[in-house]
Amino acid sequence: MIIPLSLQQSVQYLKGVGPKRAALLHKLEIRTLWDILCHYPREHEDRTKVTPVIKAHPGSTVTLKGLSEGFEIIPVGRNLAIGKVLLKDETGFIWAVWYRRTTPRYDVFANWDKKFAKGSSLWIHGPVERYHHETHVRVDEFELATEKSAIPIHMDRLVPLYPLTEGVDAKGFRELVWQTLQTYTKDIREYLPEPFLEKHRLQHLPEAIRQIHFPDTLAQRDQARRRFAFEEFFFLEMAMAQVRRTRHQNHSALACTPRRTYLTPFRKTLGFEMTNDQKKAVNDIFSDMAQTTPMNRLLQGDVGSGKTVVALSAMLLAVENGQQAVLMAPTEILAEQHFLTLKKFLEGLPLQWALFSRHLTAAQRRRQIQDLEEGRISLAIGTHALLEEDIRFKKLGLVIVDEQHRFGVRQRAILQRKAPNPHVLIMTATPIPRTLALTLYGDLSVSTIRELPPGRPVLTTHWTLEENAFAAVRREVEAGRQAFIVSPLVEESEKMDLNAAVAEWERLRTTVFSQHEVGLIHGRMKPGEKERIMTLFTDNKINILAATPVVEVGIDIPNATIMVILNAERYGLAQLHQLRGRVGRGRFASSCYLVADPKSNDAVRRLKILCETTDGFRIAEEDLQLRGPGEFLGEAQHGLPPFKVGNLVKDIDLIQEARQAAFSLYESDPECRTTEHLFFQKETARRFSGKLGLGQVS
């Protein structure tokens, strides 16, 4: 795409914008006139319907049009004044009120004698209020209905509302957009091929830019939004199609075949038969790893479905073929749990594995790095520590990323670059709808484990009072079972979480459960202390474990049958489901108690959904609807282009159409010989080179 030279000018030189205002616009990533036009509204407000004054009732937000009958300015403090204009229409009178701060240098009410002289025609927009027996409109925005303003910008139309920053007011920014459109729209040229626009029913660029800012109708606005959303998705899918083509042309991965050296003894030590879903996932992975094309597979399964056993099978396959495997987890405690699982299942095998964590001494870390680089360590487990530059592998063949939604695509790419073309398996217990997975991860094969291991007990969830939850804990503990009690999440701060957990632990062990052994675990404990506490809990020498949300993933205690989550309304739906998954892992019926006092409808809905179902796939869909794609995906979007217009939830059909268009183009013209394909590929390269861990797209 070629941006017209006129629109490449600095925003600073637009009328009404100087260095100070330009600096504020820079906070919105607006530096040029083109950036102004690409800063799309978040919504439009319909101000075409004028309310008669007589129907302006307190509690409503209205647009009024009338004549000024005069004004007054009332000082109410040292730097505060109220401006009032008496507005008249055919049905009556009402005061329009402005509350404004004043300074000795700047009079916000200057020129009111000209603006609001008796007989001036104007629009007013704002909420209707009742104060001291007087009904008035608190003015959010106004516009003079003069000949000069024959085409209103802020009233009598679908008015754009923009995402802004402090210091940039809505009315002023809207005027900048209008000024830019009026002056430079003639310079904008369509760059997408005409047949492409016709095939996908897309507005032409000049019209789409005008309609997305100042639409003539809602239908026109929706058509403009569709044009830009489709464009965003299409070029992302073009990049993904290029990834697939490049990967399929790349035959440098190390092919693996089962040799039974480690896999057979590993399966004998499991002590159980894998579910059909687990077996299918293992077969899918083994089939991928048998190829010289690098595997790129997502393994998703609900809490407790047995993803770790599948991952271990893949790791052992790599090691049987003379390669190394690495597993990266998002938290220390989950990495430690994976390490303990490896010890449990691999004990006795002639293998060396190591945990890379921040708690290693300098000497321990140096020794492990050397052993890894020289190939003595076959299996490495860790967190972000594995991304550090000094950690190198002798022959890395398999990369596994657990709880992938907590890692950015760039972080995954860094780990993958530690080997030329490793097989990659990413895992999640937060299922992602397939279309989203395809959008986010490109040419991705998906394995899903829906089956839970046989014999898993019923898990019920209750939203209740604290005393009821604690009574249930006593019953379970007295029956020989164990319990988790998760202390409130006070702040998004580990230190505050720790303080809350310690205080809660003191209350529980000294008063509420003084007859029982109450332990404490949190993320800032040293590994040795955490392991000691977990060993005591595993051996049932601790009856109740008070914890911060670090127990969300990675703890498996079959005898734990009850989970109490205090202040449950402060957690997200997926996190509540993960926490609940710490119980119900043995053969006893289990339960989760949510102690909550929700203040919002969304919080109530989260709690009700959790009480209704234990299906992680339904919970993921509900969570996506509640939070929207940005919050749901979190760090998974890090490195993706921001979707200014497209919505990953609402635009599923559009995503599928864009994906089909992009991938069909590659299939019909794999060598990129047509003019159309060459154009699209160059535009994709302009947008995505060096991003998403994709490298150059050429």
| Phi, psi dihedral angles at 472 (to 5 degrees) | -65, -35
Q: What is the model's pLDDT at position 96?
A: 95
Q: What is the mean pLDDT of residues 23-30?
A: 93
Q: What is the model's pLDDT at position 476?
A: 95
Residue at token pair 């006129």: 6
Nearest residue to 517 via CA among 539, 549, 488, 486: 539
Q: Which residues are CB-contacts of 322 (< 8 A; sequence separation ≥ 6)?
A: 395
Which is it for strands 61-77 and 43-46: parallel, antiparallel or unpaired? unpaired
Give tens-digit pLDDT for 531-578: 788 889 989 999 999 987 766 555 678 899 999 999 899 888 878 888
Angstrom distance (rounded) from CA 228 to CA 207:
12
Amino acid symbol at 679 = F
Nearest residue to 326 via CA among 225, 399, 241: 399
Structure tokens at 162: 């923009």
Q: What is the model's pLDDT at position 373?
A: 93
Q: Give the Cβ contact number of residue 526 at 10 Å.
A: 9
- Stronger pLDDT, 211 or 420, i.e. the higher one: 211
Confidence of residue 677 (pLDDT cuts 50, 70, 90): confident
Q: Is the distance from CB of 246 to CB of 697 less than 8 angstroms?
A: no
HEC sequence for 632-654 = HHHHHHCCCCCCCCCCCCCCHHH
Q: Give the Cβ contact number of residue 340 at 10 Å.
A: 19
Q: What is the model's pLDDT at position 99?
A: 87
Angstrom distance (rounded) from CA 295 to CA 309:
18
Q: Give the Cβ contact number of residue 283 at 10 Å.
A: 12
Give tens-digit pLDDT for 446-484: 888 888 777 777 899 999 999 999 999 999 999 999 999
Q: Which residues pair with 462 in a beta bridge?
A: 593
Give tens-digit pLDDT for 619-658: 877 877 776 655 544 544 444 556 789 887 678 789 889 9
Sign of CA dihedral 414, 418, 419, 422: negative
Q: What is the mean pLDDT of residues 61-83?
A: 89
Residue ranges in 97-169 assigned as alpha helix (H) = 112-115
- Fold match between domain 49-156 and domain 263-290+306-428: no
Please state the domain extents for the chain: 49-156, 263-290+306-428, 459-614
The one-character DSSP state at 32 is B
Whether 112 shows a pLDDT value over 80: the answer reads yes
Angstrom distance (rounded) from CA 671 to CA 677:
9
- Stronger pLDDT, 300 or 468, i.e. the higher one: 468
Side-chain-facing half-sphere of 69: CA atoms under 13 Å = 12
The pTM score is: 0.67
Whether 527 shows a pLDDT value over 90: the answer reads no
DSSP element (H, E) containing 29: none
Q: Which residues pair with 399 in a beta bridge?
A: 326, 424
Angstrom distance (rounded) from CA 437 to CA 502:
39
| From 303-317, 588-602, 615-629, 678-692, the region with the lowest mean pLDDT | 615-629
Highest-pLDDT range among 425-439, 472-486, 497-511, 632-646: 472-486
Residue at token pair 């332990």: 519
CATH class of 49-156: mainly beta
- What percentage of the chain carries pLDDT values higher than 70? 87
Residue at token pair 């164990």: 482
Q: What is the mean pLDDT of residues 330-358?
A: 84
Largest CA distance in the chain: 95
Q: Which residues are CB-contacts of 255 (< 8 A; sequence separation ≥ 6)?
A: 289, 290, 291, 292, 321
Q: What is the model's pLDDT at position 696?
A: 38
Structure tokens at 651: 């635009």
Of 2.60.40.420, 3.40.190.80, 3.40.50.720, 3.40.50.300, the CATH number of 263-290+306-428 is 3.40.50.300
Q: What is the model's pLDDT at position 460?
A: 94
Angstrom distance (rounded) from CA 212 to CA 215:
6
Q: What is the CATH number of domain 459-614?
A: 3.40.50.300
Q: Is the distance from CB of 641 to CB of 687 less than 8 angstroms?
A: yes
What does each C-alpha distance from 460 to 529, 562, 572 come to in angstroms? Answer: 32, 10, 19
How buried is residue 303: exposed, middle or buried, by Cβ count under 10 Å (0-12/13-18/19+)?
buried
Highest-pLDDT range among 46-50, 166-170, 383-387: 46-50
- Stronger pLDDT, 46 or 502, i.e. the higher one: 46
Structure tokens at 666: 């590659």
Nearest residue to 496 via CA among 520, 472, 517, 522: 522
Structure tokens at 366: 């140096």
Angstrom distance (rounded) from CA 80 to CA 89:
29
Q: What is the model's pLDDT at position 387?
A: 79
Q: What is the model's pLDDT at position 655?
A: 86
Angstrom distance (rounded) from CA 328 to CA 386:
7
386 three-class SS: helix
